[in-house]
């Protein structure tokens, strides 16, 4: 798999090259603190369509815009009064960082980006390489740099393997620090709602705002309110089943159909049963040594991709409770398994 895309080391020269490519209306895979994104300038409809074409992404699924700072964000949205005050408080607390806001858009924002909606999803990323590029290009649209519906990429090689035949340039910024996509917070309605959980948790947002926020469940829809809301997403090619405490029940129901060719993934070594898993014991993996949820989030997509390439017939993966960052991990795994 993969093909002729050039992986560029992040040097001053290659950053200049990438900026020129973007300003010429092409797409480039760039590192962010969450996952790698497939970027294009927001004022070029042809460039934006190339994102959809390269990913095989349906036009009804909106894109996220990345802006350098709050001033750049405010140039693209309609917000004022009390809401502006709350937005400033959230930005002071979490930006630059993995928090995306859904707000009423200005007319200048392309309907290609918003799938014709009156709102736009926009965030201020913290990755220093991405920010340096934003300083030179202005805001960029950048969904995850993977085929639509597949596991998100957390390093340049992931992008090359799955997108190498579709794009020409990948800027290597090293492994992603966070490893799951940004939290999406909808501020466009009367009640603030988290449309997609991430490293910025509902509890953290509520503390800053001094009010509760609702966590919306994924929907099976062809009209999502924002990016990252589809019920089925982030899926490996290998069949994926989930379990809470022990894989035994899943293996009893499905393992007999696959013999020993089953991978079992625990959240950490601390979550593994002392007895092992019988004939599958040699195929046990874990996402964290000591149960650090941020480490689990950072590793989940990379491990799913690795197992997907190992020719297993079935992956059984443990899911956490929907508390804190565990909500984001649970969300990604639940959507990944929804395909099967």
Please write the tens of the pLDDT for every residue from 124-134: 999 999 999 99
183-186 and 99-104: which strand pairing? parallel
Confidence check: pLDDT of 221 > 90: no
- The answer to whether 227 touches 64, Cβ cutoff 8 Å, is yes
Give the pLDDT of residue 2.
47
List Cα–Cα distances, 235 to 78, 117, 309, 339, in angstroms.
35, 27, 13, 7
Tell me the chain's radius of gyration from C-alpha atoms: 20
**pLDDT tier at 233 (50, 70, 90 boundaries)?**
confident
* Residues 67-125 pLDDT 10s: 999 999 999 999 999 999 999 999 999 999 999 999 999 999 999 999 999 999 999 99
Give the pLDDT of residue 31.
98
User: What mean pLDDT is reported for the chain?
Assistant: 91
Give the C-alpha separation, 120 to 155, whole Å. Answer: 27
Give the C-alpha separation, 28 to 33, whole Å. Answer: 16
The token pair that represents 203 in the structure block: 């509890």
Give the pLDDT of residue 248.
74
Instruction: Give the mean model confidence (pLDDT) for residues 136-151.
Output: 97
> The tokens 């989940």 sit on which residue?
300
Domains assigned to the chain: 6-215 (3.90.870.10), 239-337 (3.40.50.11030)
* Residues 180-211 pLDDT 10s: 999 999 999 889 999 999 999 999 999 999 99
pTM: 0.93
7 sits in which H/E element = strand 6-9
């Amino acid at each position: 798999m993969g093909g002729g895309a050039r992986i560029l080391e992040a040097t001053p020269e290659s950053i200049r090259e990438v900026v020129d490519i973007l300003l010429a209306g092409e797409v480039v895979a760039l590192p962010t603190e969450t996952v790698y994104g497939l970027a294009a300038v927001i004022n070029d409809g042809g460039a934006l369509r190339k994102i959809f074409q390269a990913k095989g992404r349906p036009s009804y699924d909106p894109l996220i815009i990345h802006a350098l700072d709050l001033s750049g964000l405010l140039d693209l949205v309609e917000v004022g009064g009390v809401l502006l005050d709350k937005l400033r408080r959230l930005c002071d607390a979490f930006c630059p960082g993995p928090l995306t806001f859904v707000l009423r858009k200005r007319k200048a924002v392309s309907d290609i980006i918003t799938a014709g909606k009156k709102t736009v999803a926009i965030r201020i990323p913290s990755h220093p390489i991405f920010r340096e590029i934003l300083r030179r290009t202005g805001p960029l649209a950048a969904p995850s740099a993977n085929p639509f519906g597949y596991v998100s990429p957390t390093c340049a090689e992931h992008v090359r393997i799955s997108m190498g035949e579709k794009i020409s340039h990948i800027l290597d910024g090293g492994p992603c620090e966070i490893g799951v996509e940004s939290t999406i917070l909808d501020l466009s309605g009367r009640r603030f709602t988290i449309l997609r959980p991430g490293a910025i948790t509902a509890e953290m947002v509520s503390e800053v705002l001094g009010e509760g926020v609702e966590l919306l469940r994924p929907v099976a829809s062809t009209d999502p309110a924002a990016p990252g809301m589809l019920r089925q997403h982030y899926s490996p090619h290998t069949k994926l089943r989930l379990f809470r405490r022990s894989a035994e029940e899943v293996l009893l129901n499905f393992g007999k159909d696959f013999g020993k060719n089953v991978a079992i993934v625990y959240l950490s070594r601390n979550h593994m049963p002392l007895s092992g898993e019988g004939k599958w014991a040699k195929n046990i993996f874990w996402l964290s040594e000591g149960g650090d949820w941020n480490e689990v989030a950072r590793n989940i997509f990379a491990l799913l991709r690795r197992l997907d390439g190992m020719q297993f017939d079935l992956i059984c993966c443990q899911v956490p409770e929907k508390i804190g960052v565990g909500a984001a991990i649970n969300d990604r795994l639940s959507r990944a398994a929804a395909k099967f």
